[in-house]
């Protein structure tokens, strides 16, 4: 595979990325959207919301710490 990664490595990386985008309330999938330099996250299952983040990274960190 590219960059010396095996299929197992790639799948593990995908799994970790998905875990980092899970709602702390219901473990549902979280969508992160940016509008005019401000990012927000929304849970697609329980409709929890977080907003006012300056970057996607900050929004993802907030989802993890919720």
Cα(33)–Cα(43) distance, rounded to whole angstroms?
A: 11
Q: Which residue would you say has higher pLDDT here, 5 or 38?
A: 38
Contact 32, 56 (CB under 8 A): yes
- From first CA to last CA, the distance across the chain in angstroms is 35
Cα(6)–Cα(25) distance, rounded to whole angstroms?
A: 33
Strands of the chain (E only): list them.
30-35, 38-43, 49-53
The reported pLDDT for the residue numbered 20 is: 66
- Structure-block tokens of residue 58: 């900050």
The reported pLDDT for the residue numbered 66 is: 66
Q: Kindly indicate the confidence band of residue 2, based on its pLDDT and cuts at 50, 70 and 90.
A: low
The reported pLDDT for the residue numbered 34 is: 92
């Amino acid at each position: 595979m590219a960059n010396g990664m095996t299929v197992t490595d790639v799948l593990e990386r995908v799994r970790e990325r998905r875990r980092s985008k899970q709602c702390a309330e219901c473990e549902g999938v979280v969508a992160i959207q940016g509008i005019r330099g401000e990012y927000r996250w929304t849970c697609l299952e329980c409709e929890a919301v977080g907003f006012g983040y300056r970057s996607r990274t900050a929004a993802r960190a907030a989802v993890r710490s919720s």
